């Protein structure tokens, strides 16, 4: 299964390029990465790049789309397999923490893609599909009485704002320990901020 997947990635030039640019954009930034750089690092020629993605921004768009879909799928799965808003939101935070440790480049790109001057037309992360899914769970929790009645944006921001800041701190190299080490404390704080009692 895994080898099939790996082979598929190596054969598919599109996926090969996306894997490459994720690394390049994360370490140098979008504007410091030239199309020639992408061509050289991925082994795909400039002509093919333009054939597949249209223009340079198209590469960034495709990357964002792919990662956004993956994250949405994970959150949807949690929504379907956990009953209470408490459990759903806790598992979302846990998943975000896990992703930060196993794929820091992905988290970094997702958190900051919209604010990095490229992808001008993309909606900010907080109105993106993954965040919308999470917001819906918070709304349900308010209806069920798990979460105190309040503005939905305030509740969602309060619940996930702390965890997100911790993730950013970890990505910035401020926290030395893996995020699992902080999970219980972080989630306890987050849930207290909105819990009904």
Partner DNA sequence: GTCTATACGACGATAGAC
Partner DNA sequence: GTCTATCGTCGTATAGAC
Q: Which residues bind DNA (CB under 7 A)?
A: 13, 33-36, 43-48, 50-52, 55-57
First to last CA, the chain: 46
**Chain position carrying tokens 């410091």:** 32
- Residue 127 binds to a copy of itself (criterion: CB under 8 A): yes
**What residue 141 binds from a copy of itself, DNA, none (CB within 5 to 8 A, per partner kind)?**
none
| Cβ atoms of residues 157 and 118 within 8 Å | no
**What residue 50 binds from DNA, a copy of itself, none (CB within 5 to 8 A, per partner kind)?**
DNA
The angle subtended at Cα 182 by Cα 179 and Cα 188, nearest 5°, is 130
Task: Provide the mask over 23-52, with x wherever binding to a copy of itself is found by CB under 8 A and - wherever it is not.
Answer: ------xxxx--------------------
Least Å from the CB of residue 62 to DNA: 13
With respect to DNA, which residue has the nearer C-beta, 37 or 103? 37
User: Per-residue b/e over 100-116, b at no fewer than 16 CB within 10 Å?
Assistant: beeeebbbbbbbebbee
Task: Please tell me whether residue 44 adopts helix, strand or coil conformation.
Answer: coil
Comparing CA positions, the residue from 109, 163, 166, 168 lying closest to residue 134 is 163
Least Å from the CB of residue 189 to a copy of itself: 4
| Cβ atoms of residues 37 and 76 within 8 Å | no
Which residues contact a copy of itself (rule: CB under 8 A)? Answer: 29-32, 112, 115-117, 120, 124, 126-127, 150-151, 153-155, 157-166, 168-169, 172, 174-175, 182, 185-186, 189-190, 192-194
């Amino acid at each position: 299964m895994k080898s099939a997947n790996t082979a598929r990635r190596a054969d598919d030039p599109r996926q090969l390029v996306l894997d490459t640019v994720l690394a390049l954009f994360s370490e140098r930034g979008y504007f410091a990465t030239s199309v020639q750089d992408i061509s050289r690092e991925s082994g795909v020629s400039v002509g093919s790049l333009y054939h597949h993605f249209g223009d340079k921004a198209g590469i960034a768009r495709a990357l964002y789309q792919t990662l956004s879909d993956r994250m949405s799928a994970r959150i949807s799965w949690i929504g379907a397999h956990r009953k209470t808003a408490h459990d759903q939101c806790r598992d979302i935070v846990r998943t975000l923490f896990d992703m930060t440790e196993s794929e820091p480049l992905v988290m970094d790109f997702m958190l900051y893609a919209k604010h990095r001057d490229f992808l001008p037309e993309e909606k900010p992360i907080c109105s993106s599909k993954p965040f919308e899914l999470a917001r819906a769970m918070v709304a349900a929790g308010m209806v069920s009485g798990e979460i105190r009645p309040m503005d939905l944006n305030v509740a969602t921001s309060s619940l996930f704002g702390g965890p997100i800041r911790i993730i950013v701190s970890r990505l910035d190299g401020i926290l030395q320990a893996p995020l699992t080490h902080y999970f219980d404390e972080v989630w306890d704080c987050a849930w207290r901020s909105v819990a009904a009692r």
